[in-house]
Chains A and B, each alone.
Chain A
Amino acid sequence: MVLQYVAVFFLLGGFFFLIVGVIGLIRLPDVYTRMHALGKCDTLGTGMVLIGLMFLVQDVTNITKLILIMAMIITINPVVTHLIAKTAYNRGTPMAEGSFLINDYVASQRRRRKRQLETNLSKEGGESQT
């Protein structure tokens, strides 16, 4: 009987986090902020609901399968979120009004590559003149 109350606690906690994630998906203004809301809330909510189901299913094999599914979701969801963020950044998806970048990685890389190319070209030009 105590296990049922613990399971209800975990299930309702996971439900709360899923509510917060979907409200973030609807209300936030940008791709990056939507991923910021969902990458955390969805993983935590799913994990808590699965822990609540583990308290209910009192069988070793099914608990093992649920642990496997929970490990899969906990590893897959942040990886997919990271890849979506990288794809959005590489495609140049615009950000919301009033937001700014602190450290632009791609721009700094492009600047460094351009400078290196210029130094190489000047070296080759010097060699060809002599």
Chain B
Amino acid sequence: MINTVLNIIVVGLILFSLLAIIRAYSGPTVLDRVVAMNVITTNVVLIILIFSFLDKSFYYIDVAFVFVLGAFIGTLCILKLLREGHII
């Protein structure tokens, strides 16, 4: 039972990422694309965690943690570039 539920959730997360890619393709401004990228990042973190449970290889939880921090720094750099025109 639990495996079917987790598989359904993974397929749903992939579909939501595709919908967010549609929004990132047709977004009128840059900030729509930033928001869609944020959603895709969160979905990828959830997919990594669910696969680490399904595969019983729990070392991928550290990978998900590093991925969260890297995505946060990337979003901050993009927003600072948009506000001030330079990063450093």
Which residue numbers of A lie inside 8 Å of B, CB to CB?
4, 7-8, 11-12, 15, 18-19, 21-22, 25-26, 31, 34-35, 38, 42, 46, 49-50, 53, 56-57, 59, 62, 65-66, 68-69, 72-73, 76-77, 80-81, 83-84, 87-88, 90-91, 93
By CB atoms of chain B within 10 A, which of A8, A25, A50 has the most?
A: A25
Q: How large is the interface on B (under 10, 10 to 19, 20 to 34, 35 or more residues)?
A: 35 or more
Q: Judging by beta carbons under 8 Å apart, are A18 and B16 in contact?
A: yes
Bound form: Cα–Cα A68–B68 in Å: 11
Q: Judging by beta carbons under 8 Å apart, are A80 and B2 in contact?
A: no
Q: Judging by beta carbons under 8 Å apart, are A53 and B34 in contact?
A: no
Question: Which residues does chain A contribute within 8 Å of B64, judged by CB atoms?
Answer: 69
* Distance from A8 Cβ to chain B, minimum over Cβ atoms (Å): 5
Which residue numbers of B lie inside 8 Å of A, CB to CB?
1-2, 5-6, 8-9, 12-13, 16, 19-20, 22-23, 29, 31-32, 34-36, 38-39, 42-43, 45-46, 49-50, 53, 58, 61-62, 64-65, 68-69, 72, 75-76, 79, 82-83
